[in-house]
Structure formats: C-alpha cells, structure tokens
Chains A and B, each alone.
Chain A
Amino acid sequence: MLRMARSLPEEVLEHVFSFIHSDKDRNAISMVCKSWYEIERWCRRRIFVGNCYAVNPSMVIRRFPEVRSVELKGKPHFADFNLVPDGWGGYVYPWIAAMANAYPWLEEISLKRMVVTDETLELIAKSFKNFKVLVLSSCEGFSTDGLAAIAANCRNLRQLDLRESEVDDPSGHWLSHFPDSFTSLVSLNISCLGSEVNFSALEHLVGRCPNLRTLRLNRAVPLDRLANILRRAPQLVELGAGTYSAELRPDVFSSIAGAFSGCKELKSLSGFWDVVPGYLPAIYPICSSLTSLNLSYATIQSPDLVKLVSQCQSLQRLWVLDYIEDIGLEALAAFCKDLQELRVFPSEPFALEPNVSLTEQGLVSVSEGCLKLHSVLYFCRQMTNDALVTIARNCPKMTRFRLCIIEPRTPDYITLQPLDDGFGAIVEHCKDLRRLSLSGLLTDRVFEYIGTHAKKLEMLSVAFAGDSDLGLHHVLYGCENLRKLEIRDCPFGDKALLANAAKLETMRSLWMSSCSVSFGACKLLGQKMPRLNIEVIDERGPPDSRPESCPVEKLYIYRTLAGPRFDMPGFVWTMDEDSALRFS
C-alpha cells in the first residue's frame, strides 16, 4: 500500500484531492502521510477559521500558500446580544494585511462578527485583482466609504453581502461607484443599510448585470421602486423587498403584481418591512414556487399570514413573527409539507403580557404536520414537558432546536415542574441533534440528560438554568462532540470547570458570563493550560483588585495555537503562565 501511495505522481493525487471539499476530509487526507500533507496543503483553496484568535495569519499562510477563499469568525456568539463589550476585539485588518501580501489571487472573503474598517475594505479593493466575493455577516466598524472602494475597484465582483452588519453613516452614493462597465454582479444584499441608496444607480446596476440572482434591498427602498427593479431583473431567484407599504392604489398594485409575475425564477423572499396587507396578493402568483420566506420583519397579522402560507406548498424555510399565532402554524402544518426550518420571532419581546396567541401548541402542530422539520428557533411564553416530548417524538431527525421561553426560569405552566424532562426527551429522541438552546426552569437534571444522550451535540446555549456545578460537569463530561458552549447567569463555578479542563482543548470555545467562576480558578486554568486563552472580561476593573474568590464578570476560553493576543482592550485580561506573576 505504502509503495503504491508513493508511486502515484503528485499531479494525480492533487487531481484526486480536488474533488474533496469538506475541511474535515481535507484534514483527514493531510494526516495520512507526510507527502500527502505536502500535496494537500499546496492545493487547499478554502480555509475556514472558526475563531480568528485560534491561529494567526502567518501560520495559516505558511501552511496553505495557495488559498483562494477565506472564512473567518471573530466575536463569540453572545456578542449578538450585547454581552460582549465593544472593543473586545475581532479586528480583521491584520489578516487582510497579511493576505494582501501572500494571496494576491484571493477571491473570497467571508467574515462573521468581526470589526472591519474602511481601511480594511480599501486594502481588499486594492490588493486582490480577481476579488469576487465579500460577505460581511454581523460585522461592524466600516462605512459606505469602504463600500465605495470595493465598488470602484473590484472589477470581477460577484457577491457583496452585508447581512446584518452595522454600517456607519450610510449614504447611498457608494452604489454609483460601480463603473458602468461593471456587469458581473450575481448577489447583492444591502438589507441592513439604514439610509437610502441612489435609486437610479441601483436600477441601472440591476439592469446591466444579467447574472444577478440575489437582490436584497433595504428598508429605504419604497414599494413603488420595486416594480422597476423587478422588471429589470426578471431572472432573480432571491429577492428581499424593501418597505412593502404604500397607499393602496390599483395602478401601483397592478404594476407590482405584474412585475412579480414576470419573475418566474423567484424562490426566496425576504424584507417586507411595514407591510400593507392589501399589497400581499401581488405575490400570490409566485407563492407556489417559493422555498424560502422570511417575513420576520413583516408586521402582518395572522389571517393574512394564513392566506399567504397556505399557498406556499413548496416552502422549506419560514421565518416569521409570532403574529402567525397557533392558528397560522396549524395552517403551515397543513399546507407546507416540505417545511424543514421554522423560526418564530417575538413581536413584542419586552411586553409583560402576551400580545398574540402563540403557545406551545403551534410548535406541536408543526411537528405533527411537517415531517421533514429539522431546524427550529421558537420564541414563546409558555411550554410544557408534554409538548416537548411530543415534538421530540415527532421529529427524531431534528438537528437544531432552539427554544426561547421569554421569561427566564418559566416552569411547565400546567404542572409547574421544571422542563428537564421535556428537553431530556429532545436529546434522547433526536440523536442527530447538533445545536440546542435551552430556556425555562431547568435543574441539573436536564444537564444530566444532555450529557447522557446528546452525543452529537456541537453547540449548546444555556441561560438561567441549573443548580450547581454538577450541571456543567455533566455537559463537559458527556457531550463528546461539543465544540461551543455558551452560558449566562447560571450557578456554575470553579469545580466543574477545573475538573474538565482538558475538555476545553477539544472545544472551540466556552463562554460564561454572570456565573460563579472565581478569578483564582481562571488564573489556575491559565497556568495549567497553555494552549487555551483564558480571557477574563471584567468592566469593574482589574480582577486582582478584588479577592481571588471573587467571580469574574465574563469569561471566554478558547483553544489557540497563537498564544495570548495583543489587541485586547483594557477590560480584558488573559490568564497565562505569567498571570501569577502579573497579578500578584
């Protein structure tokens, strides 16, 4: 066997490897033998770095010299909910600077939760002659000036996707920086931009890019502009409408309806801010071919939603506000048999009383009617163990289950028991579960269930749950595939963490905020585990100004080959071997 491996010419092996795309497989290949490692590293074209601080750019560049596509993630997930103070980190500039030198043929950059500056965008625009794809997901720190640089310089740009990023002082003129000769755009997502874009520039851009498949407009695009845009791009597959609101007028209506029916390829709709229900029938003609519908910004009430979804028989993904109510979810269950993913967001998350009739029953209905359902995000105000057990039994193929009962520590509203058994049933029946978010009243028992059954679980989010360290211990000890664990406001302290320190090196990261992990324990971990960065995030001031037993505010632990980082703000401290010295 060995002789055969050596006798195959490199070119052949490289050709074979070119069919292997997943990182996991590529990593496996590179571990077969030294020569395969060498061949593989020269022909790897895509890099995914799940934590930008786990490794530094020069390491990546040294090993993989011919990369065309880079994906990086920065801040921990809880940054989405403002739990990570501003200034924590996640700066992408050093990466771009290094890659500008090393990867002149870089084509794709995808960033998530990173700080991107205009300077960075300008560097990207200047450095990569064949640049094609820029995806900035939940990023921040840049303005439309940076976008203008991209528009002006990236002649071969195919995709510009700003999903949910925070863009500063947006003015619409950056769009005009795309030269008239620019026609390569395939996907444009500007739905997060606050201010108006120049409409005629937009229409002109849309009109001259024949390959445009995805167009997600922002709220500032009014309904009467939509028809014009659609008429210039009847080949669109994915559309994000802007504001779907205007005075009800028959001429406007027929214009919109006509434009929509001209788009025979439309499969995905989103946007729909401020919906005037009278305009909804304009999209009825295309409903039957829709596979993805994101109405999570649309303040449409239940009756209109029912009318809409009952025509979307091909629907696979639905994101919607809780205005849909149980009754709408029943309709969904009845008509949309191909549904795979459901997300129900709260329309009034901070109201004391429920404003809609959305209960656990809605989710149960969907689980009964939609046998392909495997991904759920559900915000509600009440839940029972029975409902969860039913859902678990109906959907054994569930892979992502995120339940958010809005009031922390809410018990089963009928039995007043904790929801341990319900979630226990989820992990027991859904053997392929990869992602789980818990809520409601939960004791250590739920963690015992999770540790026992959730063997494929990769990401777990916990809030206001558990009684003691035992809970954390169950998870760290039992969940073999755990990669990301994020915990807030739980009574977990030092013991479980220290007892399972080695586990932390097998995970990407652990986040714990408002728990009871002491500073002393953090120091200890830092000393003992050199391949982990133990970051104490504490805005009260240096942790050594308080006793060692004092819990830290926030703790972020991640494995890394790059050692402590140097871009930490004043409220972040890394515990490492020297911390004993530094903090004495």
Chain B
Amino acid sequence: MGQLVNSDNRMPGADKEADLTERIEAFLADLKRGGCGTGPIRGSGETARETTALLRKVTAQARWSSAGDLMEIIRKEGRRMTAAQPSETTVGNMVLRVLKIIREEYARSRGSSEETDQQESLHKLLTSGGLSEENFRQHFVHLKANVIEAINELLTELDGTTDNIAMQALEHIHSNEVIMTVGRSRTVEAFLKDAARKRKFHVIVAECAPFCQGHEMATNLSKASIETTVIADAAIFAVMSRVNKVIIGTQTVLANGGLRAVNGTHTVALAARHHSTPLIVCAPMFKLSPQFPNEEDTFHKFVSPHEVLPFTEGEILSKVNVHCPVFDYVPPELITLFISNIGGNAPSYIYRLMSELYHPEDHDL
C-alpha cells in the first residue's frame, strides 16, 4: 500500500489511487463478510473474476517501474486478500496466476522463454534461482501493456470456464442414467442442463443439511425439465446402489488431488466407493489451489451454529457446544475423474496441472 499512497502527489494520480484503495478496501470488506452460512453469496467464478479485474486495475494504476516492483505490490495486496477470507481459495489462486503472468511476460520481454526454464528436473531445481527477484529489475516499456493484455486473456478464460465444462457433458452423461449430486454447484447445474438438451436422465440431489442448498439445486434442475428427486443426507448410502454416476462440484481442488467441498460430500464419496460408482468432480481450473490438506487453521470454516440448533432454543444452548463446519475433506483416492475447462484429468495428474498454472516460487505469498 505504501507504494501506492506515497508515490506521487499530482492530483489526478492521487485521485486514481484513492479510488483504487477504496475499491480494494470494499472488496476486502466484502470478502470478510462473505458467506453468512449458506456459502458465499456470489459463486467462486465471480470471485475469481472480480479478483482478477481488481489486480488488473492495480497493474494499470499503481506506480511501478519494473516487474519486481509490480510483483511486490501484487503480493502485498494478495496477502491481504487471502487473509481476509482464507477459506476463499480462488482469490489466492488468481493472485498466483497473475504473478505467473508477470513472470512470463517479463521473461518474454527479455527474450528468454520462461516455459523452457521451467522444466522440472532435479538438476534444474538445484541450479535454479537464476531468474530470481533482482533479475526482475530491468525496465521494459511494453511490459505494462503486455501484462494487462495477458490478464485480459485470463479474464476471457475465466468467463468461459463454465461453458467449457458444460460442453463436455454429453461425453459423460448417457440416456436413462441415474446421476447423484450433492448440494448446489453452479458448474454442475450448467453441466446437467447442457446434457439435458439431448438426453433424458434422472438426477438425485442430496439436500446437504443444514444449509439445504440441494433444495435450490433441485428447483433449478426441475425448471429445466430434468427429472429430479431430493433425498435427505441420511439416504445417500441407501440410494447409491441405484446410481450410475455421481457428479459433484467442489469449493477447492487441493494440491494432492483431494477436495475441499461442502459438508456431506465425503459421505457421498465413501458411499460411491462402496458401490464402485464413478465419482466425477466438475471443477474449473481456477479452483486448483497449491494448498495441502494438512494446513489445519484455514482449512476448516465454522459458521454460526444457528442452522444446526437455532438460537431460539433457549436454555439448552448454555449447556451444549454446537459447531457448524462448512467443508468436508475428500481424499483423492475416492475420486475417479476431474472435469475442468481444459478437459478430463485423473486426481494423480493434478500436481502436473499445478506446476503449469503457478510458479513454484509463488506458492507462499
């Protein structure tokens, strides 16, 4: 921030910066208040787009002379954004993507190709550190324009993710299949609707208590004239024997290929494993996070226990402890396939995608 505020006192610049800080603050406040129980108000796709747009604004308006400065600024803002709502990993992912873009553009401006430098071999790892911070000091006239251009491309990519995933639906859903899903995911919804244009199939939605987003999902699906049944979470195992495929969404795809998904997903995944039902996860690339599941503190998110035991209950509340976690961890071995906007992948391949998306030096902001 210091960079932004102290740099200049010419009026128009100062104005712009004030505007920028205000927008960042508003975004942070939004993130902090986001998700009062029923999950974030906007989808994670929107959060990703907003983050990227904001970072583009930072790139365009902040004062920086070299890629190193810019990366420092982006890192600083990124740290604040991720700290504001640690459970919202897409924000951090987008920051990493932008950092990677800056690295690439810088490397391109220098004439060397960043991609070729990135071959992961033990030898390269040992001798790397060649392109470290002090080397980003060189000034290029077109860097700013190039970075912004690249961020714009990223934004276009983000805009198309849901459609790209939905397009693959026909390859996975066949006629007269019984599909199970859990809770509400915008991606899965689009996926199923897309398949429903050509095929007839039956969707069973687990309601996903206590927030019961499943109800909303079922309503939306039945509006698209898909045969839909809502079941209680307790019935998941019983119904699983009839199910041909489980298609779920997720909040985050972790670095090991596991999921951090809405509560109840683990139950579904275990039941599917028991019945050897394939479990397909629809997850756009921006949900891929370099986080591992052992990082305890930010992994869980506990919201107000109101949904579990209403505040109106009275006396009993002083005698019991009520917790209301939002997420489940689903280990990678329960997952059959990931469908992302760039195609289908096995969980074991996630690490590879990760190294393509993010620069290893950026994993810790």
Do A and B originate from a single complex?
no
Q: Which residues of A does B touch, CB under 8 Å? A: none
